[in-house]
């Protein structure tokens, strides 16, 4: 079971599958060129990879304040982390119970051996040593299973943590790319609106003098 989980996680957590190279840059360039962010393109991005799912969540919230975008990224990131950690709890359980099962087998074997000694006496020393050896094989087998399982469990945990950090970095970079666009849109809308009062309006005295000068 541990070997099957390790092989499956190695296949699923390939970098090219989780963080396709150049995807973040491609999406930022697409946004910077004013590409049409229609739902079909965003859904295609969402199904591309875990990174694509996170970037699509940013695009879904592009018209919302940055804080709301960040909250969405955190929520989606937690779901993606949970998905990438699939089967790791089972691998950690195998790493934890392997030595215990080996110890259990050793204890049972020793009990059986000593019960045999009580019935027939010590008898042949070689047979006694063989019984002890057979009992200790259980402990060795448990450790043979547990040690690699624990190592790969820690390895996959660290790998997923690294992926999450890089995905958050790409999401923040996309939010930064969206901010100037929003500011330009706001500035364009403000420039097209008539100016009424406020700090940009001319003072009253100057406004009265200009018609006289004209």
Residue 56 vs residue 113, higher pLDDT: 56
pLDDT band of residue 209 (cuts 50, 70, 90) is very low
In this prediction, residues 152-177 reach a mean pLDDT of 92
Closest CA to 86 of 170, 166, 11, 169: 11
In this prediction, residues 33-49 reach a mean pLDDT of 80
Fill in the DSSP letter of residue 64. Answer: S
DSSP string for 36-48 = ---HHHHHHHHTT
CA angle, 152 then 81 then 71, to 5°: 155
Q: Where are the domains of the chain?
A: 2-181
CB proximity list for 123: less than 8 A, separation 6 or greater: 117
Residue 9: its pLDDT value, please? 94
pLDDT band of residue 148 (cuts 50, 70, 90) is very high
Q: Is the pLDDT confidence value at 81 over 50?
A: yes
Residue 136 has which token pair? 């200790």
Q: Is the pLDDT confidence value at 213 over 80?
A: no
Cα–Cα distance for residue pair 4/35, rounded to 1 Å? 43
CB proximity list for 94: less than 8 A, separation 6 or greater: 1, 2, 5, 145, 146, 149
pLDDT tens-place string over residues 43-61: 888 888 999 999 998 888 8
3-state secondary structure of 14: coil
In this prediction, residues 22-30 reach a mean pLDDT of 87
Residue 183: its pLDDT value, please? 45
Whether pTM > 0.95 for this model: the answer is no
> Mean pLDDT of all residues in the chain?
80
pLDDT band of residue 1 (cuts 50, 70, 90) is very high
Residue 126: its pLDDT value, please? 65
pLDDT tens-place string over residues 89-103: 999 999 999 989 988
Q: Is the pLDDT confidence value at 79 over 60?
A: yes
Rg (the chain; Cα; Å):
33
Closest CA to 88 of 14, 154, 177: 154
Residue 68: its pLDDT value, please? 86
pLDDT band of residue 194 (cuts 50, 70, 90) is very low
pLDDT band of residue 35 (cuts 50, 70, 90) is low
């Amino acid at each position: 079971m541990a070997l099957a989980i390790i092989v499956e996680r190695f296949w699923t957590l390939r970098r090219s599958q989780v963080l396709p190279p150049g995807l973040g840059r491609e999406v930022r360039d697409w946004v910077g060129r004013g590409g049409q962010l229609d739902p079909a393109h965003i859904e295609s991005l969402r199904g591309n990879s875990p990174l694509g799912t996170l970037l699509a969540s940013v695009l879904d919230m592009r018209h919302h304040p940055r804080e709301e975008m960040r909250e969405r990224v955190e929520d989606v990131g937690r779901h993606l982390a949970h998905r990438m950690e699939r089967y790791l709890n089972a691998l950690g359980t195998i790493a934890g119970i392997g030595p215990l099962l080996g110890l259990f087998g050793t204890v049972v074997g020793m009990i059986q051996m000593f019960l045999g000694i009580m019935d027939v006496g010590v008898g042949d020393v070689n047979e006694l040593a063989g019984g002890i050896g057979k009992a200790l094989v259980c402990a060795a087998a448990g450790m043979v299973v547990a040690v690699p399982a624990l190592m790969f469990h820690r390895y996959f945990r660290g790998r997923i943590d690294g992926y999450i950090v890089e995905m958050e970095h790409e999401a923040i970079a996309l939010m930064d790319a969206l901010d100037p666009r929003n500011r330009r849109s706001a500035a364009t809308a403000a420039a097209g609106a008539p100016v009424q009062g406020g700090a940009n309006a001319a003072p009253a005295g100057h406004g009265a003098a200009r018609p006289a000068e004209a």
